[in-house]
Amino acid sequence: MLSTIASFINAAIIQGIPLLFGSTGEIITEKSGNLNLGIPGIMYVGGISGIIGGYIYEHSVEKTVPIICILVSLCASLIGSALMSLIYAFLTQTLKANQNVTGLALTTFGVGVGNFFGGSLLKFFNESGSISLLDTGLAYKKALPFASKLGLFGNTFLSFGFLAYTAIIIAIVSSIILNKTRVGLNLRAIGENPATADAAGINVNRYKYLSTLIGGMIAGLGGLYFVMDYTAGAWTNNGFGDRGWLAIAIVIFALWKPKSAILSSFIFGGLYIICVYIPGLSSSSKEIIKMLPYLVTIIVLVVISARKKKEHQPPQSLGLTYFREER
């Protein structure tokens, strides 16, 4: 029994990590007033860029070095998701386009890029079969050396690759920056009311661009974690599924707080796979259990809107385009 619970918790955390990256990224973006619905697409691109980088490296050298495997794919992933975020920021900030439409188009585009290169990468290199980067996957999966010596505790909580811890650290750091520093205060001010922030001398454009860019790059790491650690360097088309949308749901569940996003992500990760751990479920009732994360999100959404507590509301200018001369 204990070991089942332990393995469930372990699996919930593993499922939760990509969601945590995605939701932290989205929170940072939303705090500036940008509702980036392109996050699911950005996460796909983050994943496939990492795969492309790792693939090219693994195929250009005889013997791979783990740390370079990681560096190459990490950089490729960051560049990929940064470019995607730039498209969003340029369209919504500089060209003042509608955020929802831009975001949805970005998701269509990003999922397309992911699946296209996932399906055709090997053909470009005249190979067949499916993508699997064994060396890079192993490098990412390398756990803390002392984890296995700590028994059940170590196996449950310390057996992850380094990206998992990175996710938690990023969430905590962003929480501190948002709440304890001037930069965070400025960012929140812009999200609430860009005109006031502008009048106070804050460079609205720069903040919005940077927060979208940084948020997107963090979210992209979620895709990278998924393909490198979770599936150990293998790509399946649409394998990442709807996790990107789930990450956006967690932003609400966590009430726009990166610190709460940590636990929320693990809860959602758990709900995502709980059907495997409930004994005696028929395959049809499993499908019903899989509804849980979405149902929970809806309930939270309704409850926070009904209670109207000030500190639980989204940033006030969320989704609106700011144009200085408009009054």
Partner 1 sequence: MNEKEKKTREPLFHIAKRPAIEWWKAWLIRGGAIIASLIVCAFIIVILTKQNPLEVYAAMVKGSFGTPRKFWAMLQNLAILLCISLAVTPAFKMKFWNLGAEGQVLFGGLCSMVLMFTVGDKIPNWMLIASMLAASVLGGILWGLFPAVLKAKWGTNESLFTLMMNYIAIQLVAFAIMVWVPSGSSVMGLVNSTTKAGWLPDLFGQKYLINILIVAVLTVVMFIYLKYSKHGYEISVVGESENTARYIGINVKKVIVRTMILSGALCGLAGFLLVSGTNHTISKELAGGNGFTAIMVSWLAKFNPLIMVLTSFLIAFLQKGAGEIATNFKLNTSIADILTGIIIFFIIGCEFFINYQIKSTKSKEGK
**Smallest distance, partner 1 to C-beta of residue 247, A:** 12
**Smallest distance, partner 1 to C-beta of residue 147, A:** 34
Q: How far apart are the first and last CA of the chain?
A: 62
Q: Please give the DSSP secondary-structure letter assigned to residue 15.
A: H
**Smallest distance, partner 1 to C-beta of residue 27, A:** 14
- Residues 84 and 45: their CA atoms lie apart, in Å, by 8
Question: Judged by CB, which is closer to partner 1: 183, or 302?
Answer: 302
For the residues of 85-107, what is the DSSP string, one character each? HHHHHIIIIIS---HHHHHHHHH
Q: Is the dihedral of CA 27, 244, 172, 52 positive or negative?
A: negative
**Smallest distance, partner 1 to C-beta of residue 37, A:** 8
- Residues 173 and 308: their CA atoms lie apart, in Å, by 28
**Smallest distance, partner 1 to C-beta of residue 315, A:** 12
- Residues 127 and 133: their CA atoms lie apart, in Å, by 14
234: β partners: 132
Question: Judged by CB, which is closer to partner 1: 127, or 242?
Answer: 242
Question: Judged by CB, which is closer to partner 1: 163, or 249?
Answer: 249
Question: Judged by CB, which is closer to partner 1: 196, or 287?
Answer: 287
Q: In one letter, which amino acid is 23?
A: S
Contacting positions for partner 1 (CB under 8 A): 35, 37, 87, 91, 94-98, 100-102, 104-116, 118-120, 123, 237, 242, 245, 248-249, 252, 282-285, 287-288, 290-291, 293-295, 297-298, 301-302, 305-306, 308, 314, 323, 325-326
**Smallest distance, partner 1 to C-beta of residue 97, A:** 4
Question: Judged by CB, which is closer to partner 1: 149, or 307?
Answer: 307
Question: Judged by CB, which is closer to partner 1: 18, or 161?
Answer: 18
- Rounded alpha-carbon distances, angstroms, from residue 284 to 53, 241, 272, 294: 40, 20, 16, 18
Q: In one letter, which amino acid is 299?
A: I
